[in-house]
Amino acid sequence: MHEVKLGLDTFGDVTVGDDGTRLSDAQTLRNVVDEAVRADEVGLAFFGVGEHHRHEFAVSSPELVLAAAAGRTEKIHLGTAVTVLSSDDPVRVYERFATLDGLSNGRAEVILGRGSFIESFPLFGYDLGDYEVLFEEKLDLFSQLLAEKPVTWEGTTRASLTDADVYPKTENGITAWVGVGGSPESVVRTARYGYGLMLAIIGGSAERFRPYVDLYHRSLDSFGRDPLPVGVHSPGHIADTDEQAWEELYPALEANRNAIGAERGWPPYSRLQFQHDIGPEGAVYAGAPETVARKIAATVKTLGADRFDLKYANGTLPHAKMLHSIELYGTKVAPIVHDILAAG
C-alpha cells in the first residue's frame, strides 16, 4: 500500500467552556487556529475548515481563518471542507486561494462543493431552483481559472469574461478537490474536470462507496486523464481509552445531530444508533488510538484512499478535548495506520 496522508477537518463548531457555557464565536475562531497549530506540531498533512452561515458554526470566511493559521504553522497544508462554490464567485474564490497559497508558501488547497446546508443561497441572492446549473457553470469557470491563463467564458449565472486574467499568480498552482456525498453524476463530473475526489462519508460503511471510487477511476481513464487522488472525510474523536472517547463524544454528537435533525425530519439520535456508528459498519471513527487506527486503515484499504480527513470537531465537544484528540491522532494513530498499511 502507498502511504496515506492523514488530515483533519472542522466546521468551527461553536463549543462550550469548562463551565459548560457557550463560547463566543470570536473565541471559537481563535481556538480553531490553535487547533491548526497543534495539528502542524504533531505532523499531520492537512487542516481543513468548512464554510457555514448558521449559528452552530463560527466560520463563514474560512480563508481568513486559514490565513491566520498559515502565519503560525510551517508544513501542514491548509484548505476548506468545503468552499460552497455555488453561492460564491469563482474568480473571487481563485483570488482568495491564490493569496492564501502565497502567504502559506504553497500550502493552500481548496475542496469545492455545494455544501450540506442551503443558507448561503438566499443569503447571497441565489435561487435554489438553479442549484444544479450554479455548481456546473461555476465549476467549469473555476477549472479554467486554475490554469492561470487569460480566460474567455460565457454562462447564465454570472457575467461573461473575455480574455480575462486574474491575480495573484501562484508559484506551483493550487491543489483542488471536489467534495462528493455519493452521487454518480457528481463523481463523473469531478473526473471530467480533473479534480481530486473527496468522499464525504458521514453515514454507513465505507465499503458502499467503493463503486463510486471505481466509477471515478473509469471516468478519469475515459476522459484521458492521469490518475488523481481519492480522499475520505468522516467524523470521529480520539481519547486515551475507547470508553472515554465514546463518553466524551456522545453528548456533543447527540446535540449536534438532533439540532440538525429537527430541521430535516430525522428521528432523535440514540445510544443504539451511536453504537452502530462507531462500529465496523458505521462512519464515526471514535475510540482509543489503536481502535481508530484500525478502522481508518480498513477504510483506506477498502477504497484505495490517498488521504483520510477526520472531522474532529463535533457539536459542543470542548476545545481541550479536541486538542488532546488531535495530539493522539498525530502521535499515536498516524504511526499505527502507517504500520498496518505497510504490513499489507
Rounded alpha-carbon distances, angstroms, from residue 180 to 64, 89, 168, 210: 24, 20, 28, 13
Identify which of 142, 133, 81, 135 has the alpha carbon closest to the alpha carbon of residue 307: 81
pLDDT band of 169, cuts 50, 70, 90: very high
pLDDT digits (tens, 9 = 90+) for 144-160: 999 999 999 999 999 99
Mean pLDDT of the chain, nearest integer: 96
User: How many independent structural domains does the chain possess?
Assistant: 1
Q: Is the pLDDT of residue 35 over 60?
A: yes
- Phi, psi for 6 (deg, rounded to 5): -110, 130
Least confident of 78-82, 115-119, 279-283, 320-324: 115-119
Domain CATH code at residue 225 = 3.20.20.30
Residue type, 197: L
| pLDDT on residue 6 | 98
For residue 339, count other CB atoms closer than 10 A to its CB: 11
| pTM for the model | 0.97
> Within 13 Å and on the Cβ side, how many CA atoms surround 104?
30
DSSP string, 185-204: HHHHHHHHHT-EEEEE--SS
pLDDT for residue 3: 83
Residue 182: what pLDDT?
82
Residue 245 has pLDDT above 60, yes or no: yes
pLDDT of residue 29: 98
Q: How many Cα atoms sit within 13 Å of 46 on the Cβ side?
A: 26
Instruction: Report d(CA 292, CA 295) in Å as an integer.
Output: 5
19 has a pLDDT exceeding 90: no
The single residue listed with the C-alpha cell 470542548 is 318
Directed axis angle between helix 90-103 and helix 62-70, to 10°? 10
Residue-wise pLDDT tens digits, 91-107 = 999 999 999 999 999 99
How high is the pLDDT of residue 1? 55
Torsion of CA 132, 183, 117, 63, to 10 degrees: -90
Domain region containing 128: 5-342
